[in-house]
Amino acid sequence: MKKHSLFKVILIVLGVLVCLSGLFAILGLVGVKVFENFKMIPLGDTFLNFVQSFYYFFDTFVFLMVLGAFYAVLNKIPAYKKLIDNIAQKVKVHSKLFVFITTVLFAILTSVTGLINVLMVFVPFVIAIILLLGYDKLVAISSTIVAMLVGFMGGIFVTFRDANSYYGYASTTFSKFVGVKMYANLVPQLIILVLGTTLLILFINKYMKSVQDKKVKYELNDSDEVIVSEVKGDYKTIKTWPLIIILAFIFVILVLGYMPWNDLFGIKCFDKFDEWLKGLSIGDFAVIPSVLSGYLYSFGSWASLGSYMCIIITLIIFTIIIEIIYRVKFDELFDDFMSGAKKMMPMVFLVAISYAILVCAYNFEFMSNLITLIGDKIGMNLVTSSLLSVLGTLFHNDLYYTVSGVFANINSFADDSLLSTYALTYQSIYGLVSVIAPTSLLVIFALKYFDVPYTSWVKYIWRFVLMLFLLVILVLLVLSLI
């Protein structure tokens, strides 16, 4: 099961969803009233939903291919190899400290920006350094991908599209979505962030020692995607500063573009500048809309085009800039770009299946009916809401749809005095489940890109997930008693 373990587990999740929907629908047909609203998911529709997922989440699939293509081009640039080598050599004496600082930075950046989509762009770069320092891929994934999800759990400014404004676009946080103050959960969020990150560092450190003492070994394959090519020519004449500036500029421009400045903080200067820029004209000729595009969006509103569309455009533009600066032949650039995109296709296929699960569950209202059943017959509390959140996250791997299809329905049964607790519960559970769920976009990305079997990942990470779960339960219990 190791070679295609992730594929098989995702299929099992899809099979469980289809079987449960059929079982509940049959029970409703034979007179069990509590299941009368459930609809069976036809087998044919699962295939159609797989095809539909390419339409609904097209930008996600293109993003993954462009990201793979971007690093395929970088891996052939001598300056990239030299940059990775230089950083690794400078931090080698304190390599373990570098891993821990990386973990803290990814967690904090996710917490204060919520921009997991932006941080994903830099994961292969950082992991290449960690691997060059001599650590394995489990350490590298933990200090980046898992750290991001811990930061999400304790996220102060984690935002998503408001489920109540589908035909417009407005960013909101979990707290604002339930109608409480934006900073209502600031203290417990900081506690989860600090203690969760601390637990992760201790977990990584213990694993490092176990590997060093040869007490543990997982089956990990080499990954050509992470290994940079050898430098040809005179190493000393290669300049890395243009590449450093480019990578820094990509980070800054994406954060400026995707951070919802107006919705979160009421900062309107970017919107006003965009309005002024588009208004520039020569007579009746509008310069910017006519020459560049009429669909330019101001900083802070790039998410309105989709979670990944502006990242795709940015990466393509800077790939061309890198080609010009480092004098890469167009034919070589094109071949490397297409080769990198092609290698991402198995990952895209798995992500498409996970999104097909989402479409099946969402379109046939599986979770909303289950939440209504639990809410009416058992009642909604921290236990039932947490369990429903776990199941909902497993079946809905997109944040917007999991909020609109799961959290919004759970929230409808919540007592007004516990709204902030429910908001923290769902935010924490979503991040926690995303660390280990086979349908999680970040899990699929990490395991397929770096060629780690899902079985090896589960054997490695389950102890940390359990510790993190206990931390969340403790924080929620204290919060509910206050």
End-to-end CA distance of the chain: 47
pLDDT at 236: 73
Q: Is 245 exposed, middle or buried (0-12, 13-18, 19+ CB in 10 A)?
A: exposed
Residues 254 and 148 in one domain: yes
Structure tokens at 418: 């516990």
Which residue among 299, 323, 348 closes a domain?
299
Residues 218 and 345 in one domain: yes
Residues 234 and 274 in one domain: no
Residues 256 and 395 in one domain: yes
Which residue among 246, 271, 299 closes a domain?
299
3-state secondary structure of 275: helix
Structure tokens at 47: 């295939």
pLDDT at 19: 94
Do 198 and 188 contact (CB within 8 A), yes or no? no
Residues 275 and 403 in one domain: no
Do 111 and 101 contact (CB within 8 A), yes or no? no
pLDDT at 135: 92
Distances in Å between the Cα of 17 and the Cα atoms of 4, 24, 196 are 20, 11, 31
pLDDT at 1: 46
What is the number of domains present in the chain?
A: 2
Residues 344 and 206 in one domain: yes
CA atoms within 13 A on the CB side of 466: 6
pLDDT tens track for 440-457? 999 999 999 999 999 999
Which of 279, 280, 251 is closest to 121 using CA atoms? Answer: 251
Alpha-carbon gap, residue 235 to 221, rounded angstroms: 29
Does the predicted model carry a pTM greater than 0.85?
Answer: yes
* Proportion of the chain in helix, strand, coil states, percent, rounded to 5: 75, 0, 25
Do 335 and 274 contact (CB within 8 A), yes or no? no
Residues 292 and 256 in one domain: no
Residues 431 and 417 in one domain: yes
The one-letter code for the residue type at 342 is: K
Residues 340 and 221 in one domain: yes
Residues 129 and 222 in one domain: yes
Residues 384 and 470 in one domain: yes
The DSSP string of 375-443 is HHHT---HHHHHHHHHHHHHH--SHHHHIIIIIHHHHTTS-GGGHHHHHHHHHHHHHHHTTT-TT-HHH
- Containing structural domain, residue 139: 5-260+300-481
Which of 334, 417, 406, 336 is closest to 375 using CA atoms? Answer: 406
Residues 342 and 220 in one domain: yes
Strand-pairing partners, residue 160, are: 172
3-state secondary structure of 351: helix
Strand-pairing partners, residue 286, are: 281
- pLDDT per residue as tens, the chain (482 positions): 456 689 999 999 999 999 999 999 999 888 888 888 899 998 888 888 898 888 889 999 999 999 999 999 999 899 999 999 999 999 999 999 999 999 999 999 999 999 999 999 999 999 999 999 989 999 999 999 999 999 999 999 998 887 665 445 678 888 888 888 888 889 999 999 999 999 999 999 999 999 888 877 776 766 555 555 555 555 678 889 999 999 999 999 999 999 999 888 888 888 888 788 777 777 777 777 666 666 677 888 888 777 899 999 999 999 999 999 998 888 888 898 999 999 999 999 999 999 999 999 999 999 999 999 998 888 888 888 889 999 999 999 898 889 888 998 888 888 877 888 889 999 999 999 999 999 999 999 999 999 999 999 999 999 999 999 999 999 988 877 76
**Measured at the alpha carbon of residue 295, what is the angle toward residues 290 and 300, in degrees to the nearest 5?**
130
pLDDT at 124: 95
Structure tokens at 158: 């984690």
Residue owning tokens 């919004």: 408
